[in-house]
Amino acid sequence: MRLLVLGGTVFLGKHVVESALGRGHEVTLFNRGQTHTDRFPAIEKLVGDRDGGLDVLVGREFDAVVDTSGYLPRIVSASAELLKDSVNRYLFVSSVSVYDGARLTAVNEQTPVATIDDPTVEEIDGDTYGPLKALCEQAVERALPGRTMVVRPGLIVGPDDPTDRFTYWPVRMASGGDVVCAEPRDQPCQVIDVRDLAGWMVTLLENGTTGVLNGVGPATPATLGSTIETCADVAGSSPSLHWIDGQFLIDQGVEPWSDLPMWLGPDPAEHWLDCTDPAPAMAAGLTHRPLAETVADTLAWHRAAPETGRWGFSMSLQREAALLSIWQARGR
């Protein structure tokens, strides 16, 4: 298979390339040539810009394209329109954030997607990210009707993650000591190893699969508590986990997710995001490695290259200690 990857040097894109090369496929990268340019020296690299700089793709033909870097409908539409007569399949990486999950206890591929009042807005934030991704999906399907594969991942984790959205927990557990954890510990928690997701995406293209599938894990339901405890077990440093009332943390200015990764807050109405059904994807070939393996490999990668970004998280050891001191002073 001749595969074009839009992006291909960071996290998911990198692992898609590695998986495709490992299966003997011919891979070409298209990106701006600004990030990890030393990766994959033996494959073809086309340099351009998705925003008005696609000329290098004109006249090229590929069996399939993987779009790991599309966030704005205008830009995704331009790529899809240019490539529609040059590729057989277009796999677009979306997100489970596209769903309008308010007041739902679970979501699947038939759940309605969120909408936005102004579809031309190009400022990406917590309110616009999901609806804009949904519009990107629709742009690809319009350009290549019946030849589009949309994958909607949940939280992607594992080696090479440039954020601390998951890495925070294995690294924090390895540091040991008193760790602030937020209730409810029985909050559902879904993560998918980037290597499992990437390999499955290549399989979908090999099989000619089209449609929409949610790329989530694990195979069986997990909770925030069990996930954090697995991180602690793998780290092996015997940290002391302090499960603190979620409303207390909010009253102290701790923000769900942005201060404590993976925590969705104390309101169950907000937990739908981690209640996505993995069964259809598994029926289409998605497999999941044990979480302990993901944790161990993430920790090993971090130790070898500890330059991961902080992504705005502000739960420092000093802040943890202050929160725990206030909590314990309340006689909890």
Tell me, rounded to whole angstroms, the distance of Cα 112 from its chain centroid: 20
Helices and strands in the chain, H and E counts: 10, 11
Distance CA 152, CA 256 (A): 22
> Is the model's pLDDT at 310 over the cut of 90?
no
Whether the predicted model's global pTM rises above the 0.95 cut: yes
Within 8 A by CB and 6+ apart from 111, the residues are 99, 100, 101, 104
Confidence label for 39 from pLDDT (cuts 50, 70 and 90): very high
Q: Over the stretch 142-177, which tens digit does the pLDDT of each residue have? A: 999 999 999 999 999 999 999 999 999 999 999 999
- Residue (of 309, 327, 166, 179) closest to 251 by Cα position: 327
* Whole-number pLDDT of residue 170: 96
Angle at 124 between CA 122 and CA 130, to 5 degrees: 105
* Whole-number pLDDT of residue 28: 98
Q: Which CATH class is domain 2-153?
A: alpha beta
> Is the model's pLDDT at 102 over the cut of 80?
no
Q: Which CATH class is domain 168-190+220-267+290-329?
A: alpha beta
As a whole number, mean pLDDT of residues 82-92 equals 98
Listed by start position, the domains of the chain span 2-153, 168-190+220-267+290-329
Percent of the chain with pLDDT over 70: 99
As a whole number, mean pLDDT of residues 46-54 equals 97
Confidence label for 106 from pLDDT (cuts 50, 70 and 90): confident
* Whole-number pLDDT of residue 332: 56
> Is the model's pLDDT at 315 over the cut of 70?
yes
Buried b (16+ CB within 10 A) or exposed e, 214-248: bbbbbeeebebbebbebbbebbeeebebbebebeb
As a whole number, mean pLDDT of residues 238-258 equals 96
> Is the model's pLDDT at 26 over the cut of 70?
yes
